[in-house]
Structure 1
Amino acid sequence: MTTTTKTTAPAPTGGTLPLPPGIARLLAFGGAAGTLLSTFLSWTYTEEFPGNLTVYGYPGGLQLLTLTGALLTLAFLLSGQGLRGLRWLTPGGPNSAVRLLALGTLGVTGYTIGAIIKNLGGLINVDPGGYIAVTMALIGAVGALGLPSDVPQDADHPPANPWEQLVHSLKAPAPGRLKDHPGWVEILIISTAFALGLYLFTFGIDTDYPELFVGFMVLVAFLFPALGRAGLTGQLGQLTAKHRNVTVTAAFVAAFVFPFTQSNDAYATIGTNILIFATVALGLNVVVGLAGLLDLGYVAFLGVGAYTAALVSGAPTSSIGVTFPFWAAVLTGAVASLIFGVLIGAPTLRLRGDYLAIVTLGFGEIFRIGVQNLDGTSGPDITNGPNGIPNIPEVEILGFNLGEEHTILGFELGRFSNYFLLMLVCTIIVVTIFRRADQSRIGRAWVAIREDETAARAMGINAFRLKLLAFALGATLAGVAGTVQAHVQYTVTPEQYQFVEAVPPNSAFLLAAVILGGMGTVSGPLIGAALLYLIPAKLQFVQEYQLLLFGLALVLLMRFRPEGLIADRRKQLEFHDTGQLDVPKEDTGLNDKVGV
């Protein structure tokens, strides 16, 4: 006797709002087009609001962000209609991306009108063009929410409420198999992607006023998920995996070009500090991301490298009184951090979990208090106590003084641009070490320890020795970054190396950068560190609420993307449903094979 099993195909699902697809598409088109046209109107009558939004026929300031969002929404809508030349925009489906872009456009437009009302003192300061923009953006968002989902829903488990319906409608389908292209075309695509990334990063750093930066971040916060929902980032990920060396080269070429795009050395300062922060975060990623060791005092190793460089680089207040060349100072700082890493790790790494975290947090505070007390009164006169070691000399390499302006290829590079290029070289070295370690037998053993230390020990892995090696390597990489930081900031003081400080890097922000970006990846901590440094640096007017906003951002991230912004395959499978059932819920036809 045989039985037949009836399979139920996934049912198509409508949008979050109950609108006919044709009406929803019409509203989305009309709203996006109307929003685009509204940017050519005046939004306020006075030039007191930055960006000059008073001109007819010439968008400016935040209007340009609304214009960009509306253009992208229209482009993805037309791609979904099969318009020749735009089909490549949505290999995974257009509607989820349109939904996000329409919401992002509404967010930027609404924020702009709200900022005008707040800064200028009332609704009277908004011109009719502003009201038209908000209305059309709202219509576009309503239409986008009514579009059918790109992902068919499970007929047995439909969304139970509008919130689940919205979450389902924003899911991304698989990007599909990457089409075969000539090698030079694929390399050109990767290069173009990094060029666009450089442009976005430069635009964010070069924003002249906080309102423009906030609007930029709102649009970017919706843009990148939209690209993922459309399948573009998935296919780009396949390309970068296929051409790993080209990808790394393109990334560092884009970073090398950055200082040549800056006319103001103040913006290059932000870039330099971001590289320092990112390099230290990548070192912490060895400890946390690969080996799974929760280190809450990692910033102390950065301080060891910085203080060592300050003592041996010929600073007037140095108690040692020696002057090493820069390469020797870097090696000395790295070795000092390595020694401290081994001394701290040897007695503590037999602990696990919360106990290890508490011990490392204590070490971080012991380091800060220790260098503060080495002032000749509470202890030996080594670090000049709370006053720190000021007037650290500039770096000279082959007669090239990084503290002076230099002309390269017709571009004037200031002090911080020079240090940016120096720090970029250090970052390349750290990335190379991280990649080699990750792909080695030791890296695989670290991952095994991170996933299940007991099972790793049972397989013959010497967990203590490998954890100590990870601790020492992470400390060494932090020490290298610390030697550059000491010269960039001219001085080192104990207050720079607290667990939580107003300005990163500190232990809390370093750990957050690794988790935010994606543990165990190369690009994740770099992106996470860039965001965590750039946002506070550009939003000085909310400095009193930084930690509150930081906490809210982490809560939202852990809720909606716990694997981080750039996650490896293992983390994606760990935190998200893969669609595979542990136990078959229906008859799979096995009975037919045995003749039941």
Structure 2
Amino acid sequence: MTTQTTASETPETPETASAPEAARTGLIGLPTAFGRALATGGGALTIVSTFLAWTWTAAFPGDLTVYGYPGGLQVLVLIGGVLTTLFGLASYGVKGLGRLAPGSADSAVKTAALGTFATAWYTVIAISAKLGGVVNLEPGGYLVAVATLAALVGALALPFERPAPDPIDPDDSSWEKFRHARRQDWSTFKAAFAAEAPAPGRKLPAYAEILVIVAAMALGLLVFTYGIGTEYDELFIGFLITAGFGFGALAKAGLVARVSAITARHRNITMTGAFLAAAAFPFTQSDDQYATIGVYILIFATVALGLNIVVGLAGLLDLGYVAFLGVGAYTAALVSGSTSSPLHVNMPFWASALCGAAVAMVFGVLIGAPTLRLRGDYLAIVTLGFGEIFRITVLNMDGTSGPDVTNGSNGISSIPNLNILGFDFGQEHQLFGATVGRFANYFLLMLLITLIVVVVFRRSSDSRIGRAWIAIREDETAALAMGINGFRVKLIAFALGACMAGLAGSVQAHVTYTVTPEQYQFAHVVPPNSAFLLAAVVLGGMGTISGPLVGASLLYLIPAKLQFLGDYQLFAFGVALVLLMRFRPEGLIPNRRRQLEFHEETEAPAVLSKAGA
């Protein structure tokens, strides 16, 4: 039996193609055929184990005592087992399953098996630790431990090969060396061009591609709703493990690239579908418990998307960006009819939102004009100083140390709920037969503002000024030599990013009822703050739309769910960030050019081989 192209890490070289599959080994030295059978069989046995009881008592959350019905963490292990089995069958070339892995089925099996093993063994260890030993396990618990271990061992036996670079012959003449160098440069260019192209494969009809987009959005909504609604700590940790490795397995299989290519061909439909999927989230909740987290995630994500213009497109390192969120929040609080506002002004929401965005933009211009001639670390230090100056200034404007404007450390409180065209956002309403509470109302409003920010970002990045931002980010000296007015271009980015943050801040003021100076520190315990905002952009994927949205969602959701760790919360969070930067420095949803920059020595030959094929 010969290995198919999708069953290895990379397309086979002539040397490896001539070797029988049984003689090829993976990381642990077992024959490939035996490893593939062991991984597939282990995945199938894992599925069976989830329908058995894992413990005898319901003292462990999730009720893992039921036969014939998976519950709690068993559902997550079941998903991992299904992925492992399907990708294992796809690596065999089973008819009809080949489309599940247009990329590398073997790599997908490895990732899925590792994630399933991690979730299952974490559950077994948690049961033993919580209940007092492995004697509290039922046969299903022992079976899932053995099955996932067998699947992992089999997956590690699958081939793991990378094409070796073509060395320069030391006996070549200087002319041959020059020709070799030119060939290498041309290969790099073709690899970069291939990376920008959609994944190869048979193109689906338009209606089928739209159905794929709808299915992807529905799956995203299901995963987000499940994650935000996890009822106990062990389930959330298992969810993180399964979701992370599951996404990795789908990416290794090539399905993420295939769906990304489809969404790129239908960008408007994709944006509309994502908006509708997010708008359906409040209707999946019975109360405001998780809608509260949802509205704060949207505020955080919207501000991160504005920062992405400054950092991701223009390449300006801003460490005081949260101050613009505070400017918008304080401006809206002062003019929205709060009883503690010294201005005693009551503007409608649209006017207060415009004021918050406009004042933040003015501050962006005032701060950017004298500082944007700096570069790199110097600009970062100046923006960090601006963030602290803003916090100290509003802290001292209490009528004693300065003018009575912001009430100092007490902040501006009693900010009234919004009332737009008679719709009171502080009251429950019946929409489409479902009860929508206060935070769900603000979630829908913030979702509309997020959509506006996404449209502005997209139109800006595709425009002439967006191309100028990218040119400045890549090489400012070369951009200036080509006639780009660097100062003006960077000032526009700074002002537009500040405007978006101010718009989000105007909603945040009404959601939180009170704005205080400590909310806008550089590294406040609870996001959003400048450190978390920058991390959301970098970890999500700089220069993209979906990257900061996903990064901000994770960076807000994970700390909110890891509060049971207490003093070790930030430690665990930091370790996760370090691991992510180590293994995926380009971000979760990267720009293809940045991805090629970080993995040029490993990805370019593979992409080139596929393109050549």
With the length of structure 1 as denominator, give the TM-score of the two structures.
0.91
The alignment status of 1:537 with 2:537, answered yes or no, reads: no
Contact 1:386 1:494 in 2 (8 A): yes
Unaligned segments of structure 1, at least 5 residues: 1-7, 158-172, 582-596
* Partner AA of 1:134 in structure 2: A
The alignment status of 1:328 with 2:351, answered yes or no, reads: yes
* Partner AA of 1:420 in structure 2: F
The alignment status of 1:117 with 2:128, answered yes or no, reads: yes
Name 2:416's counterpart in structure 1.
393
Name 1:316's counterpart in structure 2.
339
* Partner AA of 2:312 in structure 1: G
Q: CA deviation at 1:145?
A: 1.0
Contact 2:111 2:245 in 1 (8 A): yes
Give the whole-Å Cα distance in 1 for the aligned partners of 2:55 and 2:15: 50
Name 2:270's counterpart in structure 1.
247
Contact 1:292 1:450 in 2 (8 A): yes
1:42-66 per-residue CA deviation (whole Å, 9 max, x = no partner) reads: 2222211100111222221111111
Describe the SS at the equivalent of 1:412: strand
Q: CA deviation at 1:550?
A: 2.6
Name 1:337's counterpart in structure 2.
360
Give the whole-Å Cα distance in 1 for the aligned partners of 2:592 and 2:33: 38
The alignment status of 1:43 with 2:46, answered yes or no, reads: no
Q: CA deviation at 1:549?
A: 2.2
Instruction: Identify if the C-alpha distance between structure 1 residues 248 and 580 changes in structure 2 by more than 3 Å, giving closer, same or farther.
Output: closer
1:73-93 per-residue CA deviation (whole Å, 9 max, x = no partner) reads: 111112222333322211113
Describe the SS at the equivalent of 1:338: helix
1:397-426 per-residue CA deviation (whole Å, 9 max, x = no partner) reads: 111001100001101101111100000110
The alignment status of 1:280 with 2:285, answered yes or no, reads: no
Describe the SS at the equivalent of 2:299: helix
Name 2:114's counterpart in structure 1.
103
Describe the SS at the equivalent of 1:11: helix
The 5-angstrom pairing of residues 194-233 of structure 1 reads 194-233=217-256
Q: CA deviation at 1:9?
A: 3.1
1:5-41 per-residue CA deviation (whole Å, 9 max, x = no partner) reads: xxx7353563212111221122112211222222222
The alignment status of 1:193 with 2:203, answered yes or no, reads: no
1:370-408 per-residue CA deviation (whole Å, 9 max, x = no partner) reads: 111111111111111111111100011111001100001
Contact 1:302 1:479 in 2 (8 A): yes
Describe the SS at the equivalent of 1:178: coil
Contact 2:198 2:261 in 1 (8 A): no
Instruction: Identify if the C-alpha distance between structure 1 residues 359 and 155 changes in structure 2 by more than 3 Å, giving closer, same or farther.
Output: closer
Describe the SS at the equivalent of 2:430: strand
Give the whole-Å Cα distance in 2 for the aligned partners of 1:93 and 1:443: 35
Q: CA deviation at 1:129?
A: 2.4
Q: CA deviation at 1:179?
A: 1.2
Aligned pairs, how many? 559
The 5-angstrom pairing of residues 559-574 of structure 1 reads 559-574=582-597
Name 2:407's counterpart in structure 1.
384
Give the whole-Å Cα distance in 1 for the aligned partners of 2:150 and 2:166: 33
1:522-551 per-residue CA deviation (whole Å, 9 max, x = no partner) reads: 111000000101111112102422322232
* Partner AA of 1:349 in structure 2: L
Higher mean displacement: 482-491 or 22-31: 22-31
1:119-141 per-residue CA deviation (whole Å, 9 max, x = no partner) reads: 22333322332122111110111
The alignment status of 1:11 with 2:16, answered yes or no, reads: yes
Name 1:65's counterpart in structure 2.
76
The alignment status of 1:409 with 2:432, answered yes or no, reads: yes
Instruction: Identify if the C-alpha distance between structure 1 residues 472 and 543 changes in structure 2 by more than 3 Å, giving closer, same or farther.
Output: farther
* Partner AA of 1:139 in structure 2: A
* Partner AA of 2:159 in structure 1: P
Higher mean displacement: 540-549 or 288-297: 540-549
Give the whole-Å Cα distance in 1 for the aligned partners of 2:40 and 2:589: 32
Name 1:358's counterpart in structure 2.
381
The alignment status of 1:139 with 2:150, answered yes or no, reads: yes
Give the whole-Å Cα distance in 1 for the aligned partners of 2:388 and 2:414: 25
Contact 1:11 1:155 in 2 (8 A): no
* Partner AA of 2:442 in structure 1: Y
2:257 to 234, 248, 252: 234
Name 2:290's counterpart in structure 1.
267
2:37 to 26, 45, 61: 26
* Partner AA of 2:91 in structure 1: G
* Partner AA of 2:25 in structure 1: G
Instruction: Identify if the C-alpha distance between structure 1 residues 52 and 351 changes in structure 2 by more than 3 Å, giving closer, same or farther.
Output: same
Q: CA deviation at 1:155?
A: 8.7
1:408-453 per-residue CA deviation (whole Å, 9 max, x = no partner) reads: 1101101111100000110011011111110111111111111111
Describe the SS at the equivalent of 1:82: coil
Instruction: Identify if the C-alpha distance between structure 1 residues 155 and 136 changes in structure 2 by more than 3 Å, giving closer, same or farther.
Output: farther
Describe the SS at the equivalent of 2:96: coil
Instruction: Identify if the C-alpha distance between structure 1 residues 516 and 152 changes in structure 2 by more than 3 Å, giving closer, same or farther.
Output: closer
Give the whole-Å Cα distance in 1 for the aligned partners of 2:453 and 2:347: 22
Give the whole-Å Cα distance in 1 for the aligned partners of 2:34 and 2:163: 22
Q: CA deviation at 1:240?
A: 1.0
Q: CA deviation at 1:175?
A: 8.5
Give the whole-Å Cα distance in 1 for the aligned partners of 2:61 and 2:319: 41
1:444 to 454, 461, 467: 467
Contact 2:35 2:157 in 1 (8 A): yes
Contact 1:290 1:520 in 2 (8 A): yes
Give the whole-Å Cα distance in 1 for the aligned partners of 2:15 and 2:400: 75
* Partner AA of 1:440 in structure 2: S
Q: CA deviation at 1:347?
A: 1.1
* Partner AA of 1:348 in structure 2: T
Give the whole-Å Cα distance in 1 for the aligned partners of 2:212 and 2:503: 34
Give the whole-Å Cα distance in 2 for the aligned partners of 1:228 and 1:30: 23
Describe the SS at the equivalent of 2:203: coil
Instruction: Identify if the C-alpha distance between structure 1 residues 485 and 512 changes in structure 2 by more than 3 Å, giving closer, same or farther.
Output: same
Contact 2:60 2:131 in 1 (8 A): yes
Give the whole-Å Cα distance in 1 for the aligned partners of 2:80 and 2:596: 32
Name 1:166's counterpart in structure 2.
none
Give the whole-Å Cα distance in 2 for the aligned partners of 1:380 and 1:152: 66
The alignment status of 1:154 with 2:132, answered yes or no, reads: no
Give the whole-Å Cα distance in 2 for the aligned partners of 1:10 and 1:473: 55
Higher mean displacement: 139-148 or 114-123: 114-123
Name 2:610's counterpart in structure 1.
none
* Partner AA of 2:493 in structure 1: A
1:343-372 per-residue CA deviation (whole Å, 9 max, x = no partner) reads: 111111111111111111111111111111
Name 2:188's counterpart in structure 1.
none
Name 1:5's counterpart in structure 2.
none
The alignment status of 1:347 with 2:358, answered yes or no, reads: no
Contact 1:517 1:566 in 2 (8 A): yes
Name 2:99's counterpart in structure 1.
88
The alignment status of 1:527 with 2:550, answered yes or no, reads: yes
1:96-119 per-residue CA deviation (whole Å, 9 max, x = no partner) reads: 101111111100001101111222
1:497 to 520, 539, 551: 520
Q: CA deviation at 1:520?
A: 0.6
Contact 1:520 1:568 in 2 (8 A): yes
* Partner AA of 1:364 in structure 2: G
Name 1:517's counterpart in structure 2.
540
Contact 2:199 2:261 in 1 (8 A): no
Instruction: Identify if the C-alpha distance between structure 1 residues 26 and 271 changes in structure 2 by more than 3 Å, giving closer, same or farther.
Output: same
Contact 2:596 2:604 in 1 (8 A): no
Instruction: Identify if the C-alpha distance between structure 1 residues 10 and 411 changes in structure 2 by more than 3 Å, giving closer, same or farther.
Output: farther
1:280-336 per-residue CA deviation (whole Å, 9 max, x = no partner) reads: 000000100011000000000000000111100001100100100000000010111
* Partner AA of 2:79 in structure 1: T
Give the whole-Å Cα distance in 1 for the aligned partners of 2:143 and 2:573: 34
Contact 1:73 1:102 in 2 (8 A): yes
Contact 1:256 1:424 in 2 (8 A): yes
Describe the SS at the equivalent of 2:413: coil
